[in-house]
Amino acid sequence: GAVVSQHPSWVICKSGTSVKIECRSLDFQATTMFWYRQFPKQSLMLMATSNEGSKATYEQGVEKDKFLINHASLTLSTLTVTSAHPEDSSFYICSARSSGRVTTNTEAFFGQGTRLTVV
Amino acid sequence: GDSVTQMEGPVTLSEEAFLTINCTYTATGYPSLFWYVQYPGEGLQLLLKATKADDKGSNKGFEATYRKETTSFHLEKGSVQVSDSAVYFCALGYNNAGNMLTFGGGTRLMVKP
């Protein structure tokens, strides 16, 4: 299957700093990427939908000024956690689907996730 | 809104044991249902899916049946292997949502030799 690479796989940062997470589709073009967050023992929650060349669509309750999403190309989307605080510590995971019409057989491909710890 | 509930783990089994991981859902429409697996250090991979009621998805010895009457999509395997140790996620999604998925919390499976 197609490969989505997410980097870094884990990061520790100081409170107040910003962290950038990259999500790359390695062998296909992704017009749409999704960013999820998972707190311990909870579901993966959709944060935002990222469309190439346009502004991201954020889910209710997700601060767009805090979680900056850029999808500048068909193979790269980035999530920047700005002014990170300990409560932002979580597991962040991206997924991507290839360009073209979405059908029930169109699979979403996931990155391996990023474990963010803010100290 | 939609939601997915799956049994909390970890589930610890001996090799060749029978596996069931329960998953139930609530949905406002008629979603497709999925099981994803995440092996250590890797991304989520689609394990199997079912797109309508009474469909059975199967792959690598795993199977799950889309039960509309009980709003369930339980994952089963007759004989687990150590290599099946991973985290399993149940999810639902709609065709017109472009692969946006609603996930359960994940269940960690540990298979001992």
For B67-100, how does the pLDDT look when each residue is reduced to its tens digit (9 = 90+)?
999 999 999 999 999 999 999 999 998 876 666 8
pLDDT at B5: 94
- Tens of pLDDT, residue by residue over A56-85, are 999 999 999 999 999 988 899 999 999 999
**Residues contacting A60, CB < 8 A, separation 6+:** none
Cβ separation B95–A103 shorter than 8 A = yes
User: Nearest to residue A96, comparing CAs of B87, B29, B44, B47?
Assistant: B44
User: Nearest to residue A95, comparing CAs of A39, A15, A19, A38?
Assistant: A38
Name the burial class of residue B49, with classes exposed (0-12), middle (13-18) and buried (19+) by CB atoms within 10 angstroms of its CB: buried
Residues of B in contact with A109 (CB under 8 A): 43
pLDDT confidence of A105, banded at 50, 70, 90? low
On whether the CB atoms of residues B74 and B27 are closer than 8 A, the answer is no
Q: Cis before residue B31, ω within 30 degrees of 0? A: no
A53-57, B58-62, B103-107: range with highest mean pLDDT: B58-62
B49/B66 Cα distance (integer angstroms) = 9
pLDDT at A40: 75
* % pLDDT > 90, chain A: 60
B104 in A contact zone (CB under 8 Å): yes
Residues of B in contact with A103 (CB under 8 A): 95
Residues of B in contact with A34 (CB under 8 A): 99-101
Residues of A in contact with B51 (CB under 8 A): 104
B7 in A contact zone (CB under 8 Å): no
**Alpha-carbon gap: B7 to the closest alpha carbon of chain A (Å):** 11
pLDDT at B102 over 70: yes
User: Which residue from A minimizes the CA distance to B101?
Assistant: A46
Cβ separation A43–B103 shorter than 8 A = yes
Residues of A in contact with B44 (CB under 8 A): 93, 95, 110
A4 in B contact zone (CB under 8 Å): yes
End-to-end Cα distance, chain A: 37
Sign of CA dihedral B27, B30, B35, B38: negative
Cβ separation A34–B99 shorter than 8 A = yes
For testing contact with chain A, the best of B48, B95, B99, B102 (most A CBs within 10 A): B99
- Tens of pLDDT, residue by residue over B21-36, are 999 999 988 899 999 9
Classify A23 as helix, strand or coil.
strand
- Tens of pLDDT, residue by residue over B34-46, are 999 988 878 788 9
A91 in B contact zone (CB under 8 Å): no
pLDDT at B54 over 60: yes
Q: Quote the mean pLDDT of chain A.
A: 88
pLDDT at A101 over 70: no
Mean pLDDT value across residues B100-112: 92
pLDDT at A53: 84
Q: Which two tokens stand for residue A94?
A: 């991206």
- Tens of pLDDT, residue by residue over A2-38, are 788 999 999 999 999 999 999 999 888 888 899 999 8
